[in-house]
Structure 1
Amino acid sequence: YFVGIIILPTVREMEGREGESEGGTSTATTIRRLEIEITEKRRVIKREQAQLQLLEQELEKARLQASKEAVIASQCVDEWGKPTQWDDTAHEVLKGVFKKKTFRLHQLEAIRAHLSGEDVFLVMPTGGGKSLCFQLPAVMPGHALTVVISPLLALMQDQVYQLDLVNVLAATLSSADDEYEKRRVFDHLRSMSNKGKQAPSPFLLYLTPEMVVKSKELLAALEAVYKAGNLSCIAIDEAHCVSTWGHEFRPDYRTVGQRVRSLFSSTPVICLTATATFDVIRDVASSMGLGQHRQGGGKKMATFRSAFDRPNLFFDVRYKPQSNKDQLNALLQTVQDCTEKFGSSCSGIIYCLSVKDVEGVAVHLREHDVQAVEYHAKMEVGARKRNFELWMKGHVRVVVATIAFGMGINKEDVRFVIHTTPARSISNYYQEAR
């Protein structure tokens, strides 16, 4: 007889063998997973390398374009970097009227080109001193009316306020002005249209593009001044708005650019902006016929560009809580942080996207002893003007506003600009933040 004997493994031995089997399976799975991940990473790297190559090509093109622009700008700087017959008077007006000791970068060159009768396109960062390039020539001997076309009432009011401080005659004319103010301006224009009398005193008139396009009375008054030989200059502020390439395209801006050139063809034009690519400059120049206002044409437009690096600015992104209450408290804390850092007398601007948010933020700040006022397009003109002046004169520290308050406001003690929501575009953010 054969007796088969089966020796069964112990429980411990069984557990060990199961572990070996599972370990082998686990290792194989790990290897397979890693192989798949590595293959996918290689695909991603290859795709990223292709995108990187495209970006490097775009960068090279942009650098080439920038070098072309620099050549054009440097040629104008070289051409107008030499002394002219107007230099002594320009320096006298700078010190005597505007209380400044020296010109900033490219200001004198742009003024020289402008006084010679050239069309000028000036691209400078916000706060770079663009406005002086038409304001100073406007008050020099022999100049009468300077028309300034500007997109925002707040910006117009700010510049008129600044000119009033140095005793330069200036006014705004818009649909928001009352009848008395309008009649006063039209009476002054009428006095400037009389030929053969004593030369009128310098006067700067700030207009919205809509006013120029839609007011037949205004155009008739300006034509009379032009025919009398007293329309000295037309300044187009925020000139990128004239271009279809510019952000926040405004049809009336495009129209007004073409209209002023067709009606006042011999009056030199100066265009100013802090936001203009080379394409925008070319489009504006083509639209308005810049450089061709003299009989026979052929004159070149003088273009000046300044550096845009602002090392004094610091950008900070902060977490925005979910609830409205927490958002308001976080905003209050940010304002308090700025006050602690820059001092209790510093000024600031807070941008909101809606009128409702503007009012809510302003109320919350006032409830916590922060002097704040609102500014938005739905306010009555008188209330807007009053709040603007309170902020400008330092009676309140913070203005909470929509984009109705914006580009190019000149206030030296502004130490913070807060956006509670993203701006409508990168260009808008650039203008508002700087």
Structure 2
Amino acid sequence: MTSIEQSASRPDSETVLQEVFGYHKFRDGQKEVIDAVIHGQSCLVIMPTGGGKSLCYQIPALVLDGLAIVISPLISLMKDQVDQLLANGVQAACLNSSMTPEAQSETWQQLHQGTLKLLYVSPERALMGDFIERMQTKSVNLIAIDEAHCISQWGHDFRPEYAQLGTLQQAFGHVPIVALTATADEATRQDICQRLSLQDPHIYLGSFDRPNIRYTLMEKHKPQAQLIRFLETQRGMSGIVYCNSRKRVEQVSEKLREQQIRAAAYHAGMSIEQRAQVQEGFQRDDIQVVVATVAFGMGINKPNVRFVVHYDIPRNIESYYQETGRAGRDGLPAEAVMLYDPSDIGWLYRCLEEKPEGPQKQVESHKLHAMGAFAEALTCRRLVLLNYFGEYRESPCGNCDICLDPPSLFDGTEHAQKALSCVYRVNQSFGVGYVVEVLRGMQNQRIKDHGHEKLTTYGLGKEHSHEYWVSIFRQLIHRGYLLQNIARSSVLQLTEEARPLLRGDIALELAVPRLGLNPRSKADKLGKRNYDKKLFAKLRKLRKAIADDEDIPPYVVFNDASLIEMAEMIPTSQGELLAVNGVGQRKLEKYGDAFLDAIEDHIMIGDEDISFG
């Protein structure tokens, strides 16, 4: 068969999109990347989490003759991708160390027979000499490298084995390489292209914006109570809570379980079996909340995560962006909440100081500084995020805490003078908590031991709460009137800028402290859809039963977005069900009758109440 005849017999990318994956149109950037790969051009693809990166190599793999090799960093991520492809009727498999010898033998048999279209492997396996030799005997049509930011030394998650993947260019010189990631600044993008030896690649830089995610920052006062109050607004929803230490992960997850929340801990100190059990329980909706360190990372391919909470501030904006991006992958409204205490970032700086001097330390210091600036910003949080990645905008997003409830300002001159005077009166020798106790006139032994109940500033701020004054002190630190001396256990000290303020030579505007979760009533216009909530509940219950029966995560059957569309359109025939996004030919054949029966029963029965897990 000639190349012209082969081309004519291939399915086109639009047909594959609709019939295999069940989508009716491409998202921004997908078509141009797919066309470039099909025509043999290497690509660097920067798309947000949930933006449809995987289709950029999966569709060319199905259009082209031969085998696509996909390099993925985590076993769980490989398995999840393969499960979803198999559910869509695509011949895919993986090779990894968790597989039994029999399972690996079966995959090699499929490769020998030429029936596989996509093979998922780790970077370590992809670099093995015998693996490369065996793949060179196959008709490899493309090599996809997922989480490509791991290649770059300027990225936030550099992995040495990833950096060696440039050798694949020599081994498979004629094969297009597709590097994909959600997070890469300009320096990281250049480094990826250089290390992979990409020749004149097609570069697609999509928007970093995830408009369905609402970004909210709360001052951290009583974090466990704040977290539980937030989770009360998310009953029945799946979410992740990130903490910076294993000890805190264990403490927080235990506290949530005491509150009858289906929560589980996840960190690198747990066994592989324990971690796999937690991840599987979360993917199958048996666990509602995973409390984790960053060890719970790139393998999270669950589309219906409705919230991500950062109990502690992350080390860089890339990590924050990627972790919050695990919420709302299905495009439905999602929440990203961070609890912020400046002392947390001080602790991260102290950890950084212990590292050896060099370029890597400079990069980490720059990124940590940018993270702190994001947390302390009083302008639209989405603009700060997008500007960091070089996507400059001027219009506020309307879906973050700053936009929805702008900080109220007041003449804080008198408050500042009381606070600064109290720091001075205690001889600039105590931290925030103690100074606030003196200012509020608390009666405790420590204050009496120091004789501070006799100070003129004692009790001057008794009309406000402890948390209120902590917020005032934090603002004075941010504005440069006070500093926390890390070398002296973070005691407060006046700066030169404090003098004219104390003398009354200048006035100062401060933000009214925010002490709780912001009102949600202003913000819930986003994503409002007119669909039958009771039918949606019934479809979720059916999906869970099918998933449990087939031993797969519920979203592999259909994701929430597809179920909402069903509850919106109320399809009663196979043709109408096929019009729902996410319903392809294979899923229609496999699950169509069951879902159509459930919809028909709902129409017949009407307002019967239903509960679901």
- TM-score, length-scaled by structure 1: 0.67
How far is the alpha carbon of 1:183 from its aligned partner?
5.1
1:284 corresponds to which letter in structure 2? I
CA contact (8 A) 2:266 2:293 kept: yes
Between the aligned partners of 1:386 and 1:408, the Cα distance in structure 2 is 14
Q: Which moved more, 1:151-160 or 1:259-268?
A: 151-160
> Are 1:230 and 2:124 counterparts?
no
Using the TM superposition, give the Cα deviation of residue 243 of structure 1 relative to its aligned residue in structure 2, in angstroms. Answer: 1.6
Change (3 A) 1:385 1:419: same
Distance 1:258 1:98, change over 3 A: same
Does residue 119 of the first structure (1) align with residue 42 of the second (2)? Answer: yes
Question: Which residue among 157, 166, 184 is the counterpart of 2:103?
Answer: 184
* 1:43-85, Cα deviation, whole Å (9 max, x unpaired): xxxxxxxxxxxxxxxxxxxxxxxxxxxxxxxxxxxxxxxxx97
Larger Rg: 1
**Residues 408 and 431 of structure 1 are in contact (CA less than 8 Å); yes or no, is this contact kept in structure 2?**
no
Letter in 1 for 2:54: S
Aligned to 1:336: 232
User: Among 274, 282, 296, which residue is 1:383 paired with?
Assistant: 274
Letter in 1 for 2:149: H
1:315 alignment partner, SS class: strand
When residues 141 and 258 of structure 1 are mapped into structure 2, their CA distance, relative to the original with a 3 A threshold, is closer
Contact 1:171–1:206 (Cα < 8 Å) also in 2: no
Tell whether the 8 Å contact from 1:122 to 1:305 is kept in structure 2 after alignment: yes
Report what 1:41 is aligned to.
none
Check if 1:170 corresponds to 2:78: no
Over residues 217-259 of structure 1, what are the superposed CA-to-partner deviations in whole Å (9 max), with x where a residue is unaligned? xx41342122x2322221111212212222222211111x222
Q: In the TM superposition, what is the alpha-carbon distance from 1:277 to its structure 2 partner?
A: 2.6
Give how far 1:421 is off.
1.0
Query: What residue number does 2:498 align with?
Result: none
Q: Is the 8 A contact 1:138 1:204 kept in 2?
A: no
Shift of the 147–186 alpha-carbon distance from structure 1 to 2, 3 Å rule, reads farther
2:288 corresponds to which residue? 397
2:73 counterpart residue number = 151
Match of 1:142 in 2: 65
- Residue from 299, 303, 307 that aligns with 2:207: 307
- Residues in 1 aligned to 2:176 and 2:17: alpha-carbon distance in whole angstroms: 21
Identity over aligned pairs, percent: 38
User: Does 2:178 match 1:270?
Assistant: yes
- Give the superposition deviation at 1:141: 5.3
Q: Return the offset for 1:211.
A: 4.0
Q: Which amino acid aligns with 1:433?
A: T
Q: For the residues of structure 1 that align with 2:238 and 2:95, how far apart are their CA atoms?
A: 28
Task: List, as ranges, runs of 4+ consecutive aligned residues in structure 1 with deviation greater than 4 Å.
Answer: 84-88
Instruction: Give the whole-Å Cα distance in 2 for the aligned partners of 1:191 and 1:403.
Output: 36
Q: How does 1:39-78 map to 2 (within 5 A)?
A: none
Cα gap change, 1:410 to 1:252, in 2 (>3 Å): same
Task: Check conservation: 1:236, 1:270, Cα contact below 8 A.
Answer: yes
Change (3 A) 1:123 1:357: same
d(CA) in 1 for partners of 2:102, 2:171: 23
Whether the aligned pair in 2 keeps the contact of 1:152 and 1:404 (CA below 8 Å) is: no
Partner of 1:204: 119
1:140 partner amino acid: V
Distance, in Å, in 1 between the alignment partners of 2:25 and 2:294 is 33
Q: Distance in 2 between matches of 1:210 and 1:141?
A: 26
Query: Within 2, Cα distance between the matches of 1:224 and 1:127?
Result: 33
Structure 2 CA distance for partners of 1:401 and 1:171, relative to 1, 3 Å: farther
Aligned in 2, Cα 1:205/1:153: closer, same or farther, shift over 3 Å? closer
Equivalent AA in structure 1 for residue 155 of structure 2: G
Amino acid at match of 2:42: D
Amino acid across the alignment from 1:429: Y
CA separation of 1:155 and 1:417: change in aligned 2, threshold 3 A: same
1-side partners of 2:175 and 2:242: how far apart? 38
1:139 partner SS:
helix
> Higher relative contact order by CA 8 Å / sep ≥ 6: 1 or 2?
1
Corresponding residue of 1:370: 261
For residue 247 of structure 1, the aligned residue among 156, 169, 187 is: 156
How many residues are treated as equivalent by the alignment? 319
The reply on whether 1:420 has 2:328 as its aligned counterpart is no
**Uncovered stretches (5+) of structure 1, i.e. residues with no partner:** 1-83, 292-299
Kept in 1: contact 2:72–2:78 (CA 8 A): yes
Tell me by how many angstroms 1:411 deviates: 2.9
The two structures have a TM-score, normalised by structure 2, of 0.48
One-letter amino acid of the counterpart of residue 158, structure 2: F
Contact 1:235 1:271 in 2 (8 A): yes
Counterpart for residue 316 of structure 1: 216
RMSD after superposition = 2.5
